[in-house]
Amino acid sequence: QQNGAEVLLHDKFRCGGLEHLAKYDFRLHDPCDICIYNHADISHLTGNIIQVKRNFFFKPTVPDEFHATLDELGFGPYSSTTYDKPLFEFVNRAAVEDFLKTKVADWIEKKTTKWAGRFNNEEVQVAYDDYNLVLGQCGGDEVVTRHDFGPYFTKLGQIIKELDRVDERMVLVKLHPYTDGEHATDTVYSEAIRRKYEEISPKVRVFLGKSNVHNFIAKARCVFLANSGAGFEVMMHGKPMVTWGHPEYHWVTYDLRHLADLIRAVHLDWFDKEKQDQFLYWYLEKYCFYNEATAERRVAELLNGHV
């Protein structure tokens, strides 16, 4: 509205605080200039869709309940930041340092996660040090079924087995808090996954439930994960990441394209913490939005043709 647009609300869209908006009517407003979708990407836009010049995709993200993204391609690993290298290496170094000492330090101290209000992150005291940490995803999440492809838990097992083979350290696996489903009443499924992975080696320990991820990251040597938002929490702790699935932060990780290449990845001679800090700052402060002012900035960037 501040940019002169008439903003209309689709009948199927529910969002507290927007009830006052005029309703979209395809008989009157089709085609329109811009359509904003929640938790979607361009691959969903098939069939009988709204005719539009441009699409924006909204998605809540890490590290708390306030941060979100708005992108022309999609969200997470299927977004413009994955395909078009952002100018994160040109951010102000002093601003990065201040960001790490203030906001990031506060998030770490409070062990902030995006799950605030959904459940209490249980405190698990990790009785190991200097281990390889593997962070799990939900097997049905689009970031591993469509933004990546192939059986996710098969890949996870292959990573664990290869890590055990090429490195002498313990392998700790933290499964996603919703592995059994968001409204699960038992842990039968995740227990089966734990048994399967721990059979790989005595060096493998699998943790399930809704425990806080910060406790696991803090004592890890390196973190291995696919397209998980937890990658930003890893960056907060300054830990190196080995990733597959080509997440949006692959610019500052070891981009694992072949399982056989894990033997080089574990040496960590590739890790550049300063570069990783710059990306964390750029993503959370320049790409994401988290209040009205930063939302207005992001909309203005998109309207002016910036990714």
Neighbours of 58 (CB within 10 A): 17
What is the pLDDT, as a whole number, of residue 117?
67
What digits encode the pLDDT tens for the residues 175-203?
999 999 999 999 999 999 999 999 999 99
Please tell me the distance from the alpha carbon of residue 119 to that of residue 113, in angstroms, as a whole number.
Answer: 10
Structure tokens, 296: 């207005």
pLDDT of residue 116: 72
Asked if the model's pLDDT at residue 307 lies above 70, the reply is: no
Position with higher pLDDT, 171 vs 18 = 171
Among 18-32, 58-72, 116-130, where is mean pLDDT lowest? Answer: 116-130
Give the pLDDT mean for 78-106: 97
Amino acid at 156: L
Give the pLDDT score at 269: 98
User: According to the model, what pLDDT value does residue 114 have?
Assistant: 86
pTM confidence score = 0.95
Both tokens assigned to 157: 């097992």
Q: CA 219, CA 132: separation in Å to the nearest integer?
A: 9
| pLDDT digits 0-9 by tens, 229-253 | 999 999 999 999 999 999 999 999 9
